[in-house]
A = this chain, B = another copy of it.
């Protein structure tokens, strides 16, 4: 966790954030609150987003072009969908300051490294980063400074990452309240395929299935969603562009993990078909332990129903 800000020198004198969606906007807010950044400059390709960023006062300055944004910045963070990152890297590359540290926040790392590094001039380092945090809302209005608190940010150093650059990017994320881990881009993509990408794919899929049924109306699905379905709709409401790009760019790991999921689901389907009560009970008991661990390490609330309004708090179970 960050030390008190007042006695620490800035990690970066000027941070340029390119792309002010949920993550970019939250980084801008966290950087200004964290006190380890001299100045925050924002740029977004959308005129409307730039105007909104200025209106919300998310950054010290809103730049009108990518070149203006990154000029003299010692840190540049690309907060754009994974599918756009190569183009954006090419756009900013000629304008990067010597010695600048470039980073990103993409949910896929192998393809980002491949897309970004060829464009970077000598002397510029690249430290791929992925904050494992988010909500189902998108755009600059969705940002909030506390988004990264107690969440993990994964750095996946590559050939273009110097040791010093990795240490500074780590310090920046720690100043946002995040915990930092490092792993290879390849391993990151496997881990996220099972903890994030396949869960999203399945959530999108069941919401689509429910919408297409003939025997059960959409109105019934919506009315009776409190039986479990509504839990899936949160992540199925995530940004479509971002998620399209995730699946296009982490294909192999997603297909591998989806294959495992389907293999297990076939076994479970057989248990249901042939009435294997013991098999069902064993699985359903085992899965409880995983949630307890997630709560125990502080990555989830212990409150019933995720703490949805109206549910009792964990301390008053009989209330």
Q: Residues of A at under 8 Å CB distance from B?
A: 25, 56, 58, 83, 107, 132-137, 140-144, 146, 149-152, 154, 181, 190-192, 194-213, 215-216, 218, 220-238, 240-241, 243-245, 247-248, 251, 254-255, 257-258, 260-262, 264-265, 268-269, 271-273, 275, 277, 280-281, 283-288, 290-294, 297, 299-301, 303-312, 317-319
Known: A248-B275, A273-B251, A319-B144. A299 touches B230 (CB 8 A): yes
Besides the contacts A208-B264, A247-B280, what 7 more A-B pairs have beta carbons closer than 8 Å? Answer: A135-B304, A196-B227, A205-B268, A222-B294, A233-B287, A251-B275, A258-B272
The answer to whether A232 and B233 touch across the interface, beta carbons within 8 angstroms, is no
Option from B135, B194, B220, B285 in Cβ contact (under 8 Å) with A209: B194
- 5 A-B contacts (beta carbon < 8 Å): A144-B318, A154-B224, A203-B228, A208-B264, A222-B299
The answer to whether B255 and A273 touch across the interface, beta carbons within 8 angstroms, is yes
Which residue of chain B has the shortest Cβ distance to A275 in the bound complex? B248
The answer to whether B208 and A283 touch across the interface, beta carbons within 8 angstroms, is yes
Compute how far the CA of A292 lies from the CA of B200 in the bound complex, rounded to whole angstroms: 17
